[in-house]
Amino acid sequence: MPKKVLIDSHVSEKQSKRALNALLTHAIKEQEKKAEQHLLPGKEQNIWLVITTKQMHPGKNMKPARIPIVHPLVDPRVSSVCLITKDPQREYKDLLESHQIRFISRVVGITKLKGKFKPFEARRLLLKENDLFLADERVVPLLPGLLGSKFFQAKKQPIPVCLTKKDLKGELERAISSTYFHRNQGTSIKVGILSQSPSQIIDNLKTALPVVVKKIQGGWDNMQSLHIKTNSSVSLPIWSCDLGGGEGGRWDGLTAGASSDEESGKAGSEEDTGTDGDDAEKPKGKHAVMEALSTAEVTEPTKGKKRAAEENMDMPQRKKREKSSQHRGKSSESRGSKKSKTDTVVQDPPPTSPPPPTVTPTTTTTGTASLSTMPKDELKKKRSAMGGERKKVKMVNSILAAKSAKEAIVGKKRH
């Protein structure tokens, strides 16, 4: 029997080819269906290597890890490449010409991003016109705020390059012919495109996988599974770790039920250390409260929590009502005493212009003591009736006062 060919001594090449062939046939069929319905061709889909780890080690790192591949995903002869540089922009255009670099189709400076490409429409056109973005590593921290979230959603975030190297052409060529691993944004890596053949994608997978595993903390011991997928397809497995608890397995180093055994052992030791007799210490805290409640005699029926809470809520309202009724009684008594005093005092003769007639509200025979002893419903009705009478009296008084004022003005005009 032929030996199994393994990629990086773990992944079966035969299984990878099977999954890749199935994925490509499905993607081509879906593309043909879309071509029948749509006039313009859609965006070319990528082949992604999806990595699942046992433990995640997230970290904020703007610089992606460079992964070399045999067959580049971007061809500068067909695709456009944009370079984002520091200011002045003209200096870096001259630098590219001096090194005879012809595969960079556009150079954009920071001032251009802040000015010309500040509107959303201009940035959207820049994103659509270019297939790959390179950026000077000195300006990479400024780019998320200047470019916006659309660049990162389209997976076209700029790739940092060093523009101060002597071999500038080689640096830019290596940047274009590599794929990238964004460790802080997930564990998916482009290893091919749909237009490439299965053998080219397998070659890229063979060169990229060992480098990717070295970039992950823990290496193969931290790897759980590997899948491949397109932009819109399901993921097909090509490798998975042992799901048992053996060496290198999914649950290696983790033992189930250890914590529960320790807790039960602690509880048993506490029960064994308990003492009886007169010299034993009295229980403290919660146990003492529970014993006191169990031995105490119940003298009065206890109220429910809900009922007690309602009574406590009603207490301040009752007090307010009693105070308001007492205050009203005192104020009515003081008004009565003031009226009796004014009746005994001799009043001055009335003025020449007669005052407007006033309507006095009808007083009720019930006193303040009877109001306080009335039921709530009757008391509310009585107060509402009294309030309505007072409003009517005020309206009549205001109308009479307006009439008298009008008559006075008319009389002055006649004289």
Per-residue model confidence (pLDDT) at position 221: 86
- Give me the CATH topology for the region 8-37+44-240: Rossmann fold (3.40.50)
**Tell me: the pLDDT tens digits for 57-99?**
766 666 788 899 999 988 888 889 999 999 888 999 999 999 9
Number of Cα atoms under 13 Å in the Cβ half of residue 188: 12
- Nearest partner of 152 among 122, 176, 186, judged by Cα: 186
CA-based R_g, the chain, Å: 45
SS3 label, residue 227? strand
The pTM for the full model equals: 0.56
Least confident of 91-105, 165-179, 253-267: 253-267
Average pLDDT, the chain: 75
Helix axis angle for 13-37 and 198-215, nearest 10°, is 120
What mean pLDDT do residues 346-371 have?
48
Per-residue model confidence (pLDDT) at position 287: 54
**Tell me: the pLDDT tens digits for 383-411?**
777 777 888 888 888 888 888 887 888 77
Per-residue model confidence (pLDDT) at position 342: 43
Q: What is the DSSP track for 170-203?
A: HHHHHHHTEEEE-GGG-SEEEEEETTS-HHHHHH
The residues spanned by each domain of the chain are 8-37+44-240, 355-367+390-415
Question: Is the Cβ–Cβ distance between 73 and 193 less than 8 Å?
Answer: yes
End-to-end CA distance of the chain: give it in Å, rounded. Answer: 135
